[in-house]
Amino acid sequence: MEINRTVSADQWQFLQNYTPARIARGRAGHSLPTAELLKFQSDHAQARDAVYSEIQISSLQEAFMSNFKIEVLSLQSEVKSRSQYLQRPDLGRTISQISRETLSKKDASEADICFVIADGLSAKAINEHSFPFLQLLLPKLQADNWKIAPICIVEQGRVAIADEIGFLLKASIVVILIGERPGLTSADSMGAYITYQPQVGLTDESRNCVSNIRPEGLNYVLASEKIFYLLNEIKGKKISGVQLKDEMANYKIL
C-alpha cells in the first residue's frame, strides 16, 4: 500500500504572525511534518532542562552589589534536592532554619520594600532576566527615596517564601522575582509577585502578579513601568492583591 507523505498546508497558517503558539503547523499524513516534530521535541527538552537549571548565585550577587550598592543575602528553603522541590511544594514555601537565623540576626530597620529572587521552576529565567529588569526598576525607586531592604537570593524557593523573608526584614512590601513554569514556547519566563504587609500564612489573593517578563513577552521596560505603578499604588493605598484595582492606562507590548 502506498503511503501519502505529502505535507499539507493549513488554512490557519496566517495566525502564526500573531502568536508563537503551535497552531497551523501542517500535516504529513497523520502526523506533523518532520521539521515541526523535531522542533516540538527540542522545545520540550528545553522546558525540562529549565526545570532542572541552577540559579547562578555568585554571579547575581556580584552584579547586584556592584551595580545597586545594596546588601545581598543568600538563603535556602527547606528543600534538600530538586526532586524534593518538585514533590513537596510546601517545603519550598518555607525558609530553612539556618536562613531564618540569618535573617533574625540582621539588625533590620523598617524598609519600604524587599526584593526576593528565587529560582522557582526556571532558574534559567532568573539568571537571564532578574538583573536587567532590576537595572530599570531599582533606580526609579531609589530616585523616589524608597528604603530598600537587602536583596535576598533563595535557592529552591516558591512564591510564598517571600512572605516570611519580608516579615523578618520588616519590609512593608515584598516583591519576589521567580522563574515561572516553562512552556513549549517559553522556557525562560520570569514572574513578579507583590505583597503588602507580608507575613506567614498569606495566600494568593493577597498578591499582585506580573508574569511573562522576558524580551519576547512583557519586555523589561514595560514590566518595570507596570510594577513601579503597582508599587506606588500599594504604598499609597496600603493594600495589595484582589483589593487593588489596576487602573494603569492600557499599554502595548513593543
Known binding residue 159? Answer is yes
Q: Are 60 and 131 in contact (CB under 8 A)?
A: yes
Residue stretches of the annotated binding site: 159, 180, 209
Q: Which residues are annotated as a binding site for adenosylcob(III)alamin?
A: 159, 180, 209
